[in-house]
Amino acid sequence: MIRKPAHILCALGLALLVSAGSAHADGLAQLKQFMDGTRTARGTFSQQVYSKSGRKPQQASGTFAFSRPGKFRWIYEKPYAQVLVGDGSKLWAYDQELNQVTTKQLGQALGSTPAAILAGDNSLDKNFVLKDAGSAEGLEWIEATPKAEDSSFERIRMGFAGGQLKAMVLHDNFGQTTALLFGQIERNPALDAGQFRFVPPKGADVVGE
């Protein structure tokens, strides 16, 4: 089975994010600003994954790019190499160390996941219940609760500043918390369409649909 470094889009320190200060009603407004004004994007991320047991968090980092709707490339560079590609119809996940590719229909993968927010269309209300979640650490937060009963996630928090997405915190159904801290996101760059196509490397084991 392919390793799950944390789901496509994961974590920032729990201590940094869980507390919410006085409520401000512009988290949803900044989400709308980001979604309406961003058709393509690229940037860097750092990630921490906290287990329910409280053991030392797993850390990872890498780069990402997306083009709406449904196309993205998410690359884990450290501590090991893994590539996730959404080509508009399928999701491909390649573990370089195992030389293994897993694939599934993109609709099933994106329906109620963080990738639906970053690379999906703007119809977030279709898959999530959205609400303002107040201010903390200089960010305005929104909380997204998946409507699908079979979602892997219990809830997702997104932090914004100046209309820019800065962080995401994911709480899954197994008690794991994943936090993503984004580097400077470049909005609406011209992106090479080829990076959203995936051809399994020669000799790789391909599992899935």
Residue 99 lies in a domain: yes
Residue 65 lies in a domain: yes
135, burial (CB in 10 Å: exposed 0-12, middle 13-18, buried 19+): middle
Total structural domains within the chain:
1
Q: What is the domain extent for residue 120?
A: 14-208
Residue 90 lies in a domain: yes
Q: Residue 133: which CATH number?
A: 2.50.20.10
What is the reported pTM? 0.80
Q: What is the pLDDT along the chain (209 residues), one digit of tens a residue?
A: 444 444 434 334 333 444 333 334 489 999 988 988 999 999 999 999 998 887 788 899 999 999 998 899 999 888 888 999 999 899 899 999 999 999 988 876 665 566 667 888 777 778 889 999 999 989 999 999 988 887 888 999 999 998 899 999 999 888 899 999 998 799 999 999 999 999 999 999 999 87
Residue 32 lies in a domain: yes
Residue 9 lies in a domain: no
Q: How many CB atoms are closer than 10 A to CB 69?
A: 16
Identify each DSSP E strand in 117-176 by its residue range.
128-136, 139-146, 153-161, 164-172
Residue 33 lies in a domain: yes
